[in-house]
Structure 1
Amino acid sequence: MTKPKHILLIIGGGIAAYKASELIRLIKKAGMTVRCVLTESGAQFVTPMTLAALSENEVHTTLWSLKDETEMGHIQLSREADLVVVCPATANLLAKMAGGIADDLATTLLLATDTQVMAVPAMNVRMWDHAATRRNISQLKNDGIIIMPPEEGDMACGEFGSGRLPEPEAVMTEIASLLGSPFLPVSGLPQSELGPNPLEGQPAFAPDQHRPLHGKHVLITAGPTREPIDPVRYIANRSSGRQGFAIAAAAAEAGAQVTLVAGPVHLATPAGVMRVDVETALEMEAAVEAALPANVAIMVAAVADWRADNRAEQKIKKKGEAPAPLKLTENPDILAGLAKHDRRPDLLIGFAAETEKIAEHARTKLAKKGCDWIVANDVSGDVMGGADNSVHIVTAEGNEIWERLPKPEVARRLVQKIIEEIS
């Protein structure tokens, strides 16, 4: 009989702690066991008695339990779990984790564990956007911590923005994925809020290879960029971001730590993916730089080649005559820059949107950019915004053609090819 998976759930101090009760119920419903560590501040929002009743296990609250520490309880707690989940992970708790501080039971066992740790941040939007938090998140990612990004929405403090704890069903979906179980349905959120699932209807990786990218950092760009002309107008393109988001979902499903740098698109963040939203090419270049190092980089985004040289501070008014010609300046070539970077990813993949001579143009781009592969997609039809894609995988060894496929299937095949390349 297979031993059930065991979760160690660390509950930080924030209003979102109330969702831990529902998460415990879902963990139990999935046939897993769960033991809770409740921080001192977390106990201001939920009680040990509630968590004990739901988990059917003792709740641990202090490093100074004589019985537990006689048996080195914090070491035992940290080692017996198949996955350690910090939910909610407050800004304070994330800062301590990033700094290696161990001043209570939760932070001590986090420092003592060699088990995979997943953190689910929840905090005020200004705290989430603060440079210190972004720095801590980057450090934790580099340390191998899985970060499930917060959602955007109304908050208990009355503000709106990123920082909301994902719904328990979404957190449970990610837990199941990390442990190699099938995804659980996210039933608590309306589909209109979730957006399309990039992997809907697609088979998961086989059980014996469900984590083939575990320990690898995959950096992906997706979507268009917008280059402002004035406060209301911009230069952009028709990229929907769907292919890049599908690749991010497939890479996360394969166990990778995924950073997705996304241009302005209206798509749900795939489970287990760290998303960084940008608008311009310069912002995307900075976000890619901040995400390094990476084992694999997949540059799917359709970055604008040009931007306005002099952005107008006020809306340009129509005066009955043609305005002065728009002066443009060239944007940085993010892909070519990565190819020459001193922290160049081990595998660097570029995308090329073409309308004719697909393979010929892709091979020229491969040589010009200095990357390892070019994935050239034919955008002469409805690909930009459509559900399907037809691609050529161009490498130094040759050209592999994938006829028209759903974008999630293209994503899965590409991730499988990456796994074979770097394994």
Structure 2
Amino acid sequence: MEQGIHILVTAGPTRTPLDEVRYWANIFTGNTGLQIALAMRDLGHVTLLTSNQDHLARLKPGGADHDARLTAIPFVTFNDLDLALAKSVHSQALNAVFMTAAVSDYQSAGAYCIESSNPVAGSNPPRWQWTVRDIQKPKIASNHTQIAFAATPTPKLIDKFRREWNFRGLLCKFKLEAGLSEEELKTKAQASRIHSQADVIVANTLQMVYGPDPAAYIIDAASCQRVPRGALPEQLRAYLARTLSRKLHR
């Protein structure tokens, strides 16, 4: 374990409240993030921000994966994660961030009962004109025949590291796509990496996640490597180890 090396890993989905008892979420568990955090322990102290309750149970004292080299911190909502990331960046000298959490792209901006829905004549693609009534409450009633939720984009947390939080360590972005070929994925992932000023990006498609040969691409400015998903944690550990070694020998 390298003295003074601090690594941050995020894992699990964020929840976005619809009212005080319901929320939006996604299908991902954060298990890849947990395995990455476990693989990094011999390189330095790892902080894992996770929304997976099983992870927290496994990592607490007496848990199956408890280790003094790894600290687990819970989050639930998008706002929780945003605040926890800002605190982590500002409270310790981080050397690397692996942003594997499945972060909500949208947040609710109101709930509405659809009272009428009429097609707009001649529109192509088809458009509809709705008449709606605001029904947002602490618990939205269950007796409406048809409802709709408005949503606004959430800030891209990965973009805050360089532009807002002035983080200068290794930044690893994760990107999932659907309906793209692998060549299209690689092109889009490289553009995404550059946009976020990330050093490296891990990218895959739903087909690559659930297909017969699960895999992901590790892409940086100089290389593009397709690796089996099961090997991803150790591959990223090796990537970080090489990066730290280069910095030590400059």
TM-score normalised to the size of structure 2? 0.75
User: Counterpart of 1:421?
Assistant: 243
Tell me whether 1:246 sits opposite 2:35 in the alignment.
yes
Which consecutive residues of structure 1, in runs of 5 or more, have no partner in the other structure?
1-210
Tell me whether 1:300 sits opposite 2:100 in the alignment.
yes
Deviation at 1:228, TM superposition (A): 0.9
Alignment map for 1:11-410 (pairs within 5 Å): 211=1, 213-252=2-41, 254-267=42-55, 268-269=58-59, 270=65, 271=67, 272-292=69-89, 293-310=93-110, 312-323=136-147, 325-355=148-178, 356=180, 357-380=184-207, 383=210, 389-402=214-227, 404-406=228-230, 409-410=231-232
**Is the contact made by 1:389 and 1:410 (CA closer than 8 Å) also made in structure 2?**
no
**Based on CA coordinates, which of the two structures has the bigger radius of gyration?**
1
**What letter corresponds to residue 302 of structure 1 in structure 2?**
A
State how far apart, in whole Å, the 1-side matches of 2:19 and 2:192 are: 32
**Is the contact made by 1:282 and 1:331 (CA closer than 8 Å) also made in structure 2?**
no
Deviation at 1:382, TM superposition (A): 5.0
**What letter corresponds to residue 158 of structure 2 in structure 1?**
L
Deviation at 1:418, TM superposition (A): 0.9
State how far apart, in whole Å, the 1-side matches of 2:24 and 2:52 are: 12
User: Counterpart of 1:47?
Assistant: none
State how far apart, in whole Å, the 2-side matches of 1:381 and 1:358 are: 11
**What letter corresponds to residue 309 of structure 1 in structure 2?**
A
Query: Which SS does the other structure have where 2:160 is aligned?
Result: helix
Q: Would the alpha carbon gap of residues 250 and 365 (structure 1) be closer, same or farther in structure 2, given more than 3 Å must change?
A: same
State how far apart, in whole Å, the 1-side matches of 2:137 and 2:97 are: 35
State how far apart, in whole Å, the 2-side matches of 1:341 and 1:414 are: 25
**Is the contact made by 1:366 and 1:373 (CA closer than 8 Å) also made in structure 2?**
yes
- How many correspondences in the alignment? 204
Q: Would the alpha carbon gap of residues 225 and 342 (structure 1) be closer, same or farther in structure 2, given more than 3 Å must change?
A: closer
**Is the contact made by 1:378 and 1:389 (CA closer than 8 Å) also made in structure 2?**
no
**What letter corresponds to residue 351 of structure 1 in structure 2?**
F
**What letter corresponds to residue 412 of structure 1 in structure 2?**
E
**Is the contact made by 1:281 and 1:332 (CA closer than 8 Å) also made in structure 2?**
no
Q: Deviations over 1:199-240 (max 9, x none)?
A: xxxxxxxxxxxx3x4421001111100101023321111111
Deviation at 1:366, TM superposition (A): 0.9
Deviation at 1:284, TM superposition (A): 0.4
Q: Would the alpha carbon gap of residues 372 and 277 (structure 1) be closer, same or farther in structure 2, given more than 3 Å must change?
A: same
Deviation at 1:378, TM superposition (A): 2.9
TM-score normalised to the size of structure 1? 0.45
Which consecutive residues of structure 2, in runs of 5 or more, have no partner in the other structure?
60-64, 112-135, 246-250
State how far apart, in whole Å, the 1-side matches of 2:220 and 2:53 are: 29
**Is the contact made by 2:208 and 2:215 (CA closer than 8 Å) also made in structure 1?**
no
**Is the contact made by 1:263 and 1:279 (CA closer than 8 Å) also made in structure 2?**
yes
RMSD: 2.1
Q: Deviations over 1:78-105 (max 9, x none)?
A: xxxxxxxxxxxxxxxxxxxxxxxxxxxx
Deviation at 1:381, TM superposition (A): 5.6
Higher percent of residues as strand: 2
Deviation at 1:379, TM superposition (A): 2.5
Deviation at 1:320, TM superposition (A): 4.3
Provide the identity percentage: 25
Query: Does 1 or 2 have the higher relative contact order (CA < 8 Å, sep 6+)?
Result: 2
Higher deviation after alignment, 307-316 or 343-352:
307-316
**Is the contact made by 2:208 and 2:214 (CA closer than 8 Å) also made in structure 1?**
no
State how far apart, in whole Å, the 1-side matches of 2:165 and 2:176 are: 27
Query: Which SS does the other structure have where 2:171 is aligned?
Result: strand
Q: Deviations over 1:113-132 (max 9, x none)?
A: xxxxxxxxxxxxxxxxxxxx
